[in-house]
Amino acid sequence: MSKTIFQRIIDREITAKIEHEDAHCVVIHDIQPQAPVHLLIIPKQPIARVSVATATDQTVLGHLLLVAGEVARKLNLAEGFRLVINNGPHACESVPHLHVHLLARRQMNWPPG
């Protein structure tokens, strides 16, 4: 199986604008932003998507949300931000490596789809 673009970024085979990195994840700026702030929070442990995550992934999944809050505080996103996880082709999942979108600095609409 070939590496996803995210695994290639994690392995430094492809460059990306990194906002945060720790032992469990990397946070990069999306190259096709859908908001003035559009970051991707990507676990270093490859998980294809939420629907195939297991109980052993619980710690890393929780870590992604905590990092989202940490990065939002760092970037002064007090007015609000949205977190999105796409799962499967009907949800516009484009890379089979779970990631959390953090979108901010524009008014979000509801419903989101």
What pLDDT does residue 8 have? 96
Entry pTM: 0.94
What is the number of domains present in the chain?
A: 1
Within a domain: 112: no
For the four alpha carbons of 29, 15, 26 and 47, in that order, the dihedral sign comes to positive
Is 90 annotated as catalytic? no
Within a domain: 78: yes
Confirm if 38 and 31 have CB atoms less than 8 A apart: no
Task: Provide the percentage of residues in the chain whose pLDDT is more than 70.
Answer: 98
The catalytic residue among 38, 97, 99, 101 is: 99
What pLDDT does residue 113 have? 67
Within a domain: 59: yes
Confirm if 5 and 22 have CB atoms less than 8 A apart: no
- Encode pLDDT of 19-69 as tens digits: 999 999 999 999 999 999 999 999 999 999 999 999 999 999 999 999 999
Whichever domain contains 26, its CATH number is 3.30.428.10
Within a domain: 82: yes
